[in-house]
Amino acid sequence: MDRILIIEDDSLIREELETLLSNQGYTAASVTDFRDVARQVREISPDLILLDISLPGQDGYQLCTAIRSFSAVPILFLTGRDTAMDELQALTLGGDDYVSKPYNIPVLLARIGLLLRRRTPAGAQPCPVEHRGVRLDTLAGTLSKGGRDIDLTRTELKIMYLLFRHPGEIVPRADIIEYLWDNEIHTDDNTLSVNVMRLREKLRALGEEDFIQTRRGMGYQI
């Protein structure tokens, strides 16, 4: 489990960031006492630091220099200031990346993931997954049942992946669309319907008639 340390003086943002990161499966800790932050960092020894620039006492730049003197932990600057100078300073002082407020949350999570992966090579994703006899192989991009494979397009694969992650639950259409957006597929409502229709046809070819159910006004369910 990756430990992420949040150094941010606004308490609401700090708490919500903690919630966000715990929801994503990280262990989040945060600094609440801004005296001698460097020592706290040394004690906690996190895998990643989210660092705000405007802090009481030492500012983020100084803190970054201080942390760099004893640790090579990835540091991601989060800040409201976003002039070219700020960015340059953040990166030259040993910061690894830079995200400006207001954050775009998927981008923030993607950057965090990237920095952590750079540090520790990720293990293989839990894959393939199986539900009611149908196997989804995300690496090969196929659906299979009884030894028969069917290739999926990128969009179809993403939709199936999301449904397989929530077996038995109703996944709202808005969630699916949002998930696709996070994965750089810009989908509207019609495109989603068309894709689900095509998925149903492919599943029918595998002999699964009602694998994906439509919950009218709510979403889809497997």
Nearest residue (CB) to other proteins, 107 versus 197: 107
Q: Which of residues 82-121 bind other proteins (CB under 8 A)?
A: 82-85, 87-88, 101-107
Asked if 170 contacts 220 with a C-beta cutoff of 8 angstroms, the reply is yes
Amino acid at 161: Y
Nearest residue (CB) to other proteins, 17 versus 222: 17
Stretch of 61-69, 159-167, 184-192, 204-212 contacting other proteins, by CB under 8 A: 184-192
E-strand ranges in the chain read 3-7, 27-30, 48-52, 75-79, 97-100, 129-131, 134-137, 142-145, 148-151, 170-172, 213-215, 219-221
> Cα dihedral angle (17, 22, 28, 33), rounded to 10 degrees?
50
**What is the distance in angstroms between the CA of the first residue and the CA of the last residue of the chain?**
29
Provide, rounded to whole angstroms, the least separation between the CB of residue 10 and other proteins: 6
Q: Which has the closest alpha carbon to 157: 129, 119, 189, 132?
A: 129
Interacting residue with other proteins among 72, 174, 194, 197 (CB under 8 A)? 174
Stretch of 15-23, 38-46, 161-169, 209-217 contacting other proteins, by CB under 8 A: 15-23
Which residues on adjacent β-strands are paired with residue 179?
A: none
Nearest residue (CB) to other proteins, 57 versus 80: 80
Kindly list the distances between the CA atom of residue 15 and the CA atoms of 12, 21, 33, 51, 159, in Å, as whole numbers in the listed order: 5, 10, 14, 14, 31
Nearest residue (CB) to other proteins, 145 versus 158: 158
Interacting residue with other proteins among 89, 155, 187, 195 (CB under 8 A)? 187
Provide, rounded to whole angstroms, the least separation between the CB of residue 106 and other proteins: 6
Residue window 131-150: x/- pattern of binding to other proteins, with contact defined by CB under 8 A: --------------------
Q: Which has the closest alpha carbon to 29: 57, 12, 10, 50?
A: 50
* Contacts with other proteins, residue ranges (CB under 8 A): 10, 12-13, 16-17, 19-20, 23, 80-85, 87-88, 101-107, 174-175, 177-178, 181-182, 184, 186-191
